[in-house]
Structure 1
Amino acid sequence: MFDERRALFLGLAAVLLWSTVASAFKLSLRYLSPVQLLFWASLTSVCVLGLVLVLQGKLKDLLWLPPGSLLKLGLPGILTPWLYYLVLFKAYDLLPAQEAQPLNYSWAITLSLLAVPVLGHRLRRRQLGAIALSYFGVLIIATRGDPLSLEFSNAPGVLLALGSTLIWAAYWIWQTWSRVDPVLGLFCNFLFALPLIALTLWLTDGFSLPDQRGLAAAMYVGMFEMGLTFLLWLKALQLTRSTVRIANLIYLSPFLSLVLIHFVVGEEIMVSSYIGLLFIVAGVLLQNNLRESLTYS
C-alpha cells in the first residue's frame, strides 16, 4: 500500500538524522580514536540490526543459509564498515567537519567514474562536464576558496576523504550483484567486519572502556548512521509511488549538516564550504538527470 504522507515523513526523518552524523563524528572523535569509534559504533549497529531482524522474523533465515552463502553475504563488510569507516573517521579526525562532510558527499560522482571500468558504463560529454563541476567544488573546499593555488588545507585529510568515496562506491557496486534482503545483508556485513575491527583495535589502541561521552556518541553513530536511518529510508521508498521525489530529499542533508556543524560542533562555516558544496550537489543533480534522460530516451 502506498502512503505518500508517511513516505514523506519517513524520508524527511531519515534526512534529518543523516544530517546529524557529521557533527556526531566530530564530537565522538574528541574522546575516541577513529578505531575506537568504529568498534563501538559497529558493535551498536550489529545489536540494533540484529534486534530489527528478530522483530521482523528474518534472523532465522540466516540459519538456513549454507556457509558459502553466509561468507558471500559477509564479505562486503571488508569494504563497509571496516575500510570505509576507518578511512572516513581518520579524515574527520584530520579535517574540520565542514570540509570532510562535503568531500565525502562526492561519492556519487566517484561511483559514476568507477562504474566505467567495473560495469562497462560509458560516460558522455555532458556527464563528464557534471563530474568536472563536482570536482571543482571539491577543489574549492580542499583549498578553502583558492582553487588556483592548489594548496590543500590538509592534504592527507583531503586524500582520505576522497579515498573514502572510492571505497563506498566500490561497496555499492559490489552490492548491485546481491539479491538478498538489504537489512539482512547489512547485518551480515557488520557481523563479518566486527572481528576485523576488533583485531584492528587490539593491534592499535588496545581495548579499554572509553569515556562515557565518547561511548554515547559512538552508540548514536552506530544506531543512526549505520542502522535505523537506513531502515527509515528504505521504508519511505517502499511507501511512495515517486521514488525520485523522495530520493531528492537527500540533497537537503549536506546543507542541513553544515548548519548543525556550526551550532553543535562550533565551527565557523567558511563561505568556501557552502560554494564548494553547491558545485558538488549541482554536479550530482546534473549527473542524475542526465542518467534518467538517457534511461528513458
Structure 2
Amino acid sequence: MLYGLGAVLLWSTVATAFKLALRELSPVQMMAIACTASVAVMALVLVVQGRWRQVFALSRGQYMQSMAMGMINPCLYYFLLFGAFDRLPAQEAQPINYTWALVLAYLSVPFLGQRLHRADIVAGLICYSGVVVIATRGDVLGLEFSDPLGVGLAIGSTLIWASYWIIATRDRRDPVVGLLLNFLFGLPVIWAICGLTDGFRFDAGSGFAAAVYVGVFEMGIAFVLWSWAMKKAENTARVSNLIFISPFLSLVFIALILGETILSSTYIGLVLIVSGLWLQQHGSRRALAEAAQ
C-alpha cells in the first residue's frame, strides 16, 4: 500500500510538471530531456538491485521487440501526450488521459479475445460523457471544443497507451528491464527529431528542471514503485483502487502551483470519468468471479 501510495502521489504531480516544462520547452525538447533522465534512473535502479546483467541476457527477438515497442512508448505516446498538454489546460488534458484504462478494456476484446461485459459498455458511456463535459467546458449542447486538436491528441494518447500495454502482456521480461530497453531504443529517435526540429538550445531553468522531474519520477520511479506494489500486494484490488485518488489530488496541485481556476465543468466531468472507471473495474471483476463460480 505504501509503494502504491507513493506512485499515486508522484503521478498526481506530473500534470503540473508537464505544464511548467512546456512553458519554456517544446514538446519534443521536453521528451528528449525527460526520456534521458528516465533511462538514467531505470539503469541506476537495476544496478542497485544487482539486475543490470539481465539487460544483456536477452534473445535477439526480445531486443527487436524493444525496438518496436520503443517507437510506441516513449516516442509516439509522449509526443501525443505532451502535445495535448501543450495545447490544453492541465485540468482538461489530465482527466481525458485517465480514460486509457477503459480503452484498454475495449481493445482487449479484438486483440486478446476477452469478453466485453455490460459494465464496460455502461462505463464507456459515463466516462466519455465526462470527457465531453470537460472538453466543451460545460457547453455540452453546443459541442464547441476548447481546442479540438488538443482533445484529439489527448484521446489519441489513450489509444496508444492502451495498445502498448496490450502488446506488453506478451512480454515475459522483468518490467523495469523491458521498459529501460524500450526507452533506450526510442531515445535516439527522439534526439534525432529534436535536433532536426526545435534543436537543443534551451536554458537550464525551471522548464528544464520540470522536464527532468517528469523523467525521474513519472517515467521512472513511479513505474518502479507501482511494479513493486503489484508484486507485494496481498490484495491487488485494494492497491489498484488507489489510482482513483490521483486525478482529484492532481487538481489540487494544478490549482495551487499553476494557478489555474478549476472550472465546475472539470469537477463534473472528472467525477463522471472516475465513476465510469470504477464501474468498469468492479463490474468486470464481478463478472469474472461469477464466471469462475
**Contact conserved, 2:117 with 2:284, CA < 8 A, in 1?**
no
Q: Secondary structure at the match of 1:149?
A: coil
**2-side partners of 1:295 and 1:203: how far apart?**
50
Query: In structure 2, what is the Cα distance between the partners aligned to 1:109 and 1:235?
Result: 23
Would you say the 8 A contact 2:130–2:273 is kept in 1? yes
| Partner residue in 2 for 1:233 | 226
The structure 2 residue matched to 1:142, chosen from 125, 135, 139, is 135
Range that drifts further, 115-124 or 19-28: 115-124
Query: What letter corresponds to residue 96 of structure 1 in structure 2?
Result: P
SS class of match (2:58) = coil
| Alignment gaps of 5+ in structure 2 | none
1:213 CA drift (Å): 1.5
Counterpart of 2:262, as a letter, is I
Q: 1:26 is matched by which residue type in structure 2?
A: K
Residue 229 of structure 2 contacts residue 239 of structure 2 at CA under 8 Å; is this kept in 1? yes
Q: Bigger shift: 158-167 or 9-18?
A: 9-18
Matched with 1:160 is 153
Indicate the residue corresponding to 1:285 in structure 2: 278
The answer as to 2:98 corresponding to 1:105 is yes
Instruction: Say whether the 8 Å CA contact 1:131–1:283 is kept in structure 2.
Output: yes
Could you tell me how far apart the structure 2 residues matched to 1:62 and 1:130 are?
A: 40
Is contact 1:62–1:70 with CA below 8 Å preserved after alignment?
no
Aligned residue in 2 for 1:191:
184
1:134-154 Cα deviation digits (max 9, x unpaired): 000000001001212111111
- Residue 148 of structure 1: SS of its match in structure 2? coil
Q: Distance in 2 between matches of 1:67 and 1:120?
A: 28
- Alignment correspondent of 1:28: 21
- Unaligned runs of at least 5 residues, structure 1: 1-7
Q: Distance in 1 between matches of 2:159 and 2:41?
A: 27
> More displaced, 198-207 or 155-164?
198-207
- In 2, Cα distance between equivalents of 1:261 and 1:244: 28
User: Aligned-pair distance for 1:122?
Assistant: 3.0
Tell me the residue number matched to 1:3: none
Task: Report the secondary structure of 2:114's partner residue.
Answer: coil
**2:260 is the alignment partner of 1:250:** no
Taking the aligned partners of 1:23 and 1:200, their CA distance within structure 2 comes to 25
Structure 1 residue 88 and structure 2 residue 59: aligned? no
Give the corresponding residue for 1:174. 167
Distance, in Å, in 1 between the alignment partners of 2:86 and 2:47 is 35
State the partner residue of 1:259.
252
TM-score (ref. length: structure 2): 0.96
Matches within 5 A, 1:216-227: 216-227=209-220
Distance in 2 (CA, whole Å) between partners of 1:187 and 1:139 is: 36
Q: Does 1:122 align with 2:115?
A: yes
| Partner AA of 2:43 in structure 1 | G
Identity across the alignment (%): 53
Give the letter for the 2:62 counterpart.
S
Aligned pair partner of 1:44 in 34, 37, 44: 37
Kindly indicate whether the alpha-carbon contact (under 8 Å) linking 2:102 and 2:120 is maintained by their aligned counterparts in 1.
Answer: no
- The Cα of 1:240 is off from its aligned counterpart by 2.2
User: Does residue 1:16 correspond to 2:29, yes or no?
Assistant: no
Q: TM-score, normalised by structure 1?
A: 0.95
Write the letter of the residue equivalent to 2:173: V
- Aligned partner letter, 2:155: L
Contact 2:42 2:220 survives alignment (8 Å): yes
Between the aligned partners of 2:129 and 2:215, the Cα distance in structure 1 is 32
Asked if the contact 1:31–1:211 (Cα under 8 Å) also holds between the matched residues in 2, the reply is no
More displaced stretch, 43-52 vs 60-69: 60-69
Q: Distance in 2 between matches of 1:211 and 1:64?
A: 37
* Equivalent AA in structure 2 for residue 157 of structure 1: G
Kindly tell me the number of residue pairs found equivalent between the two proteins. 290
Determine if the alignment matches structure 1 residue 276 to structure 2 residue 265.
no
Q: For residues 66 and 234 of structure 1, do their structure 2 counterparts lie closer, same or farther at Cα, with a shift above 3 Å needed?
A: closer
Q: Deviations over 1:102-130 (max 9, x none)?
A: 01111111112222222233323332111
Contact 2:105-2:120 within 8 A present in 1 as well:
no
**Partners of 2:10 and 2:211 in 1: how far apart?**
15
Cα deviation for residue 209 of structure 1 reads: 4.2
Which amino acid counterpart does residue 144 of structure 2 have in structure 1? E
Q: What CA distance in whole angstroms lies between the structure 2 residues aligned with 1:69 and 1:76?
A: 10
